[in-house]
Homo-oligomer: A and B are copies of this chain.
Amino acid sequence: MVTVALAQINPVVGDINGNTRRIQEAMSRADDLGAQVVVVPELALTGYPPDDLLLKTSFIDANHTALGEIASSSGDALAVLGFVDQRDGSLFNAAAACRRGQVVGVYHKHLLPNYGVFDERRYFEPGEDHLLFDTPEAVLSVSVCEDAWSEDGPVVQQGLSGAQIVININASPYDKNKLDERTAMLADRARRAGASIVYVNTVGGQDELVFDGSSLVVSPYGQVMARLKQFEEDFALVDVPLGHSNAVRAEGPGASIRRVRVGLPPAPSGEVRGVVAEALSVEAEIYGALCLGLADYVNKNNFKKVVVGLSGGIDSALTAVIAADALGAECVLGVSMPSVYTSPGSRDDADILAHALGVQMIEVPIRHIQDAYLEALQSAFGQTPEGLAEENLQARARGNILMAISNRYGHLVIATGNKSEMACGYATLYGDMAGGFALLKDVFKTEVYSLSHYRNSISPVIPESVLTKAPSAELRSDQKDEDSLPPYSVLDPILEAYIEREAGVADIVALGHGRDVVGRVITLVDRAEYKRRQAPPGPKVTDKAFGRDRRLPITNQWKEGPDEDLPARATGGGGEA
């Protein structure tokens, strides 16, 4: 048994000085508590993902200097942490082990993910060696994130080479099935390796990504011995059981194995340590991810307050509730921007919600602004019939007002659109899409409802009428979303199949959907690519989010849908699909 401190910290991308301090604090705390080993996440020193900061020599150099400082201050516990190692002009996603003032070993990540949100082969070369520590108590090894995801990859190879505890440092982003998937994967790898796995994950929001923490210790028999909190910084000492053997086994890897002899402090006395944090429900998980994603975007970018347009609809209601929960009601400003099409019910609902949340609310009517636009455009529009242009003008007047408030007071504008709208282009570019952060961008409309019910089950803040009335953009008389889109209960499963699972028309029809509606939805999704390209970032909570996770050309004549010629797509078309 080895007593390992799992330091589930929240580093900030680019903040090498701050991250150094965060790492040193975790190491001191581990030493103070008598831990034998302390583990800090992948690339904790630079934050993850550092992206093209990795192309800057000054950045890489600062990271090396900081590693030196961390090593100098290292104490009795063997400290394992993530940094960028530059050797002979190549970069490696690396783990350093430090003890008593020295770097005692460095491991280079073997498997570099280059799919989904990951671009690691843009920067890093793969490592080829394994690093085993012969300590008085056990044989330990070190690996990084993706190294665990291959059935016969480095984590398993290290176990087969004699490691009894495999340390695996991570920056693994959340999506809604991730914890179960990860737990099952680690249980399998631990059994194959015949070793315990100490899986330490980053926690925190970074632009489009939310790292959920949920660090784990899994025994050689695949049992979860410890789990840290989701969506919070956490720190725990865990007594990690040893794997079966410390002898190299015949099935071991061909890659070269470096063995380093290091001491460890004596095991602390007392009862066996371990903690298994409660696993959240799906709704609580997504809610937690959205709160953390928003709070970290706001705080890491030094905003003090956010501003949200409150229409009385469910998207803006949920957005305001999450913002108030994540930041405190005093950090949220609600703005009602009624037009001639705004129903009295919607205005009331917005007021009731703001009051229930304790959020400040102001009103900026757009009626006269809309009139001024229409007057100015009179000669340009001539006798052409009214339509989308008049609708979008209103949405953009609202976007402009929110941005003006942002300019004047420095508040961050939170856009309120959901994934169903973003998918179908049922949103106005520079209008309701305007903002610095799009909180619900990866949340389908049906999930907006389930998250609202979940939140109301804790304490009822969203008025019942908001949950029950038919969704409407209120940009013309008697408008309903279902005038333009299939019902969300039909739409969302089609979107999920097409976007998240890359299903073709035939696959989706086979799920029981009509060919016409499938073709229509796919055409809407394909045609809205130019809008999504200009959307604000927002937190990924599904298997495939819009943004770096899904990279499609705008100019694209591939037609998955019905084989009709696409009409010209007016840039900025939206509000109505």
A–B complex contacts, Cβ < 8 Å, 28 sampled: A13-B557, A15-B558, A50-B553, A51-B551, A51-B552, A56-B504, A56-B560, A115-B122, A362-B379, A362-B380, A364-B380, A368-B376, A371-B372, A376-B401, A388-B407, A389-B404, A392-B407, A393-B400, A393-B404, A396-B396, A403-B430, A409-B570, A410-B568, A410-B570, A411-B570, A412-B571, A435-B571, A533-B536
**A142 within 8 A of partner (CB):** no
* Residue of chain B at shortest CB distance from A505: B58
**A567 within 8 A of partner (CB):** yes
* Residue of chain B at shortest CB distance from A536: B534
**A458 within 8 A of partner (CB):** no
* Residue of chain B at shortest CB distance from A571: B436
Task: Please encode chain A, from 270 to 291, with 1 for each CB lying within 8 Å of some chain B CB and 0 for all others.
Answer: 0000000000000000000000
CB-CB < 8 A to A556: which residues of B? 13-14, 53
Given contacts A13-B555, A55-B502, A368-B372, 14 further A-B contacts (CB under 8 A): A12-B557, A14-B553, A14-B558, A15-B558, A51-B551, A56-B560, A206-B555, A301-B569, A387-B408, A396-B400, A407-B570, A412-B571, A413-B572, A434-B572
CB-CB < 8 A to A530: which residues of B? 436
Cα A406 to Cα B14 in complex, Å, equals: 40
Q: How far is the CB of A26 from chain B (nearest CB, A)?
A: 19
**A194 within 8 A of partner (CB):** no
A504 and B58 within 8 A (CB): yes
Task: Please encode chain A, from 466 to 504, with 1 for each CB lying within 8 Å of some chain B CB and 0 for all others.
Answer: 000000000000000000000000000000000000101
CB-CB < 8 A to A14: which residues of B? 553, 556-559
**A365 within 8 A of partner (CB):** yes
Q: How far is the CB of A79 from chain B (nearest CB, A)?
A: 23
B571 and A52 within 8 A (CB): no
Cα A4 to Cα B74 in complex, Å, equals: 66
**A313 within 8 A of partner (CB):** no
CB-CB < 8 A to A301: which residues of B? 554-555, 568-569
**When the two chains form the complex, which single residue of B406, B408, B559, B566 contacts A381, counting CB atoms closer than 8 Å?**
B408
**When the two chains form the complex, which single residue of B58, B119, B381 contacts A560, counting CB atoms closer than 8 Å?**
B58
* Residue of chain B at shortest CB distance from A526: B14
**A397 within 8 A of partner (CB):** yes
Task: Please encode chain A, from 85 to 129, with 1 for each CB lying within 8 Å of some chain B CB and 0 for all others.
Answer: 000000000000000000000000000001100010110000000
* Residue of chain B at shortest CB distance from A59: B558
CB-CB < 8 A to A399: which residues of B? 396, 430
* Residue of chain B at shortest CB distance from A116: B122
CB within 8 Å of B: which of A180-220?
A: 205-207
**Known A534-B534, A555-B296, A571-B436: A392·B401 in contact at CB below 8 Å:** no
CB-CB < 8 A to A535: which residues of B? 534
B400 and A504 within 8 A (CB): no
**A517 within 8 A of partner (CB):** no
**Known A15-B558, A376-B366, A555-B206: A430·B400 in contact at CB below 8 Å:** yes
Cα A540 to Cα B480 in complex, Å, equals: 42
Q: How far is the CB of A539 from chain B (nearest CB, A)?
A: 12
- Residue positions of A touching B, CB distance < 8 A: 12-16, 18, 49-53, 55-59, 114-115, 119, 121-122, 205-207, 296-297, 300-304, 335, 362, 364-366, 368-369, 371-373, 375-377, 379-381, 384, 387-389, 392-393, 396-397, 399-401, 403-413, 429-430, 434-436, 502, 504-506, 530, 533-537, 550-560, 566-573
Cα A567 to Cα B362 in complex, Å, equals: 26
Cα A115 to Cα B119 in complex, Å, equals: 10
CB-CB < 8 A to A13: which residues of B? 553, 555-558
B554 and A52 within 8 A (CB): no
* Residue of chain B at shortest CB distance from A534: B534
Q: How far is the CB of A159 from chain B (nearest CB, A)?
A: 28
A413 and B537 within 8 A (CB): no
**When the two chains form the complex, which single residue of B368, B371, B537, B570 contacts A554, counting CB atoms closer than 8 Å?**
B537
* Residue of chain B at shortest CB distance from A411: B570
CB-CB < 8 A to A302: which residues of B? 566-569
A571 and B372 within 8 A (CB): no
CB-CB < 8 A to A504: which residues of B? 56-58
Cα A429 to Cα B429 in complex, Å, equals: 11
Q: How far is the CB of A36 from chain B (nearest CB, A)?
A: 33
Cα A53 to Cα B50 in complex, Å, equals: 27
A300 and B557 within 8 A (CB): yes
A403 and B384 within 8 A (CB): no
Cα A114 to Cα B13 in complex, Å, equals: 22
CB-CB < 8 A to A304: which residues of B? 568
Cα A569 to Cα B410 in complex, Å, equals: 7
Cα A114 to Cα B122 in complex, Å, equals: 5
B389 and A407 within 8 A (CB): yes
Cα A413 to Cα B58 in complex, Å, equals: 40
CB-CB < 8 A to A49: which residues of B? 553
Query: Of residues A403, A410, A553, A572, which shows the largest number of chain B Cβ atoms within 10 Å of its Cβ?
Result: A553
